[in-house]
Amino acid sequence: MAKLPILTAPDPRLKRKSAPVERVDDEVRWLMDDMLETMYAAPGIGLAAPQVGVLKRVIVLDIEREGTSTGPIRMANPEIVDVSDEDATSEEGCLSVPEHYSDVERPARVTVRYLDRDGESRDLACEGLLAKCVQHEIDHLDGVLFIDRISALKRNIILRKLVKARKEKEREAAEDDAAAAPRSRRKV
Ligand code: NI
């Protein structure tokens, strides 16, 4: 397994629609395992393939650490096949929107149909944190971030802060590189 770099907003790859996998083969299983390792290391409780730059409809989840015990869940081509009339509002965050959180309203319960790691079709009834998480991850497959579900004003504030933070990081990295570069290789 390998840990993969996680893209952060406003990376344009996070806004694209992912393609269904044709079948769950070894390549897809390796992707699922790499995504789980990446998610645990982050640490996070859910991750979608486009967050690691792979535009395939694959998500992983594990909300065991939040008191309920799902264990690692691997899903290919997940789709919501049933939603509750009742909505629930709760705070969301995202590994691709680091250090920002906001309340998001979604259906309180959903049923998701997906292919498991053996390519078998399964239905899973989700509520609470699992329902929120699975909807959040499926949104990623359609190029939707949780900040797209909040007010434009809040979204723009968060995006501006993310761009600023990235620029600062790049500047620091460039300064480190310049300091580390051997004198003979410096351009004049
Ligand atoms: Ni996310």
CA of 107 to the centre of ligand 1 (A): 17
Of 101, 99, 123, whose CA–CA distance to 112 is shortest? 123
Q: Are 101 and 93 in contact (CB under 8 A)?
A: yes
Q: Model confidence over 112-153: pLDDT tens digits?
A: 999 999 999 999 999 999 999 999 999 999 999 999 999 999
Distance 56 CA to ligand 1 centre (A): 15
CA dihedral 175, 43, 73, 21 (to 10 degrees): -10
| CATH level 2 (architecture), domain 12-150 | Alpha-Beta Complex (3.90)
Q: Give me ligand 1 centre to Cα 176, in Å.
A: 30
- The reported pLDDT for the residue numbered 178 is 85
Give per-residue pLDDT as tens, 35-65: 999 999 999 999 999 999 999 999 999 987 5
Percent of residues, the chain, with pLDDT higher than 90: 87
What amino acid positions are annotated as catalytic residues?
137
For residue 14, give every residue at least 6 positions away whose Cβ sits within 8 Å of its Cβ, in sequence order, or none: 7, 50, 51, 96, 140, 143, 145
Q: What is the mean pLDDT of the chain?
A: 93
Measure 133 CA to ligand 1 centroid, in angstroms.
8
